[in-house]
Amino acid sequence: MTSTARTTTGRGVWRGLWAVTALMMLLFVAVFALHRITPLPALKAMVDIGGEANMPTWWNASLLLMAGVAAVVARWDEEQPDIQRAWAVVAAAAVYLSIDEATGLHELLGQPLGVLNIDVPTYNWVLPGVVLALAGTAGLVAVGRRLPTVVRHRLAVALGCYFAGAIGVEAFNGWVGRGDAGPVFTLGMIVEESLEMGACILAIVAVVDHLVTRRTASESESADAPAFGRSADDRDPAVGSANS
C-alpha cells in the first residue's frame, strides 16, 4: 500500500495514547510543583519521569510492548516471507526495548567503564549505548527495506525520534545532572520522555494504519472480484432484458 492517508482507527489510537502520555507529564509537573510546597516523597517517586519502576516507566514500557505486538500482528497479516521476517525483527527490537525500559538493562553497559575508572561527562552507559544503538539501527534499516514504503518511512522517523530522546537528550541530561539538577535538567527529562513516548506512539499508529489500509484494500478487492467473473448481461439487467 502506498497511501499516506491516516485512517480513522489510527487517529483514534493516536489521540488515546497521547491523552495518557499527556496525563503522565501533567502529573509529573503538578506533583513536583506541590513537592516544593509540602514534601510528597512517595508520590513524587511514583510520577517521576526520570525515575525507575514507577508509573511513567510502566507507561513507556507498555508503549514499546504495544509497538511490538502491533508488529507481530503485521507479521501474521503478511504473506511474503521476506516481509514477515522484517516484521519479526521489528517486533523483537520493540519487545527488547520494552524489557530494557522496565528493568534498566542499559545501566549494566556502564559497569566496565566504572571498573576501568574511565570518567565520562555523562552517564557511563551512554558511550557503549551509542555503539549498541548504531548497530541496532543499522540492522533495522537493512531489514526494514523489505517493508512497504509508507510504513517503513514512518517507522524510520519513529526510530530517529526514539534514539534522539533515549541517547541524545539523555546524554545531555546526564551532563547537566552532574551539577545542580535544576530546571534545565527537569525540562530535559520532559523533552527526553516526550520524544521516547511520542516515538512509540508514532510507530504504533504507523503499523495500525498499515494494517487497516491493507484490510480495507483486501475487502474492496473481494467485493469487486465477482464483477469480473460475470458477463455483461449479468452486470447490467437492462442488457439482459433487451437480449431476451
The span from the CA of 232 to the CA of 239, in Å, is 8
Q: pLDDT value at position 85?
A: 97
**With bands split at pLDDT 50, 70 and 90, how would you rate the model's confidence at 81?**
very high
Contacts of 199 (CB under 8 A, 6+ apart): 158, 159, 160, 161, 162, 165
> What is the arithmetic mean of pLDDT over 178-185?
78
The span from the CA of 184 to the CA of 94, in Å, is 30
Contact present, 165 and 195 (Cβ < 8 Å): yes
pTM: 0.86
**With bands split at pLDDT 50, 70 and 90, how would you rate the model's confidence at 151?**
very high
Contact present, 165 and 194 (Cβ < 8 Å): yes
- How large is the C-alpha radius of gyration of the chain? 24
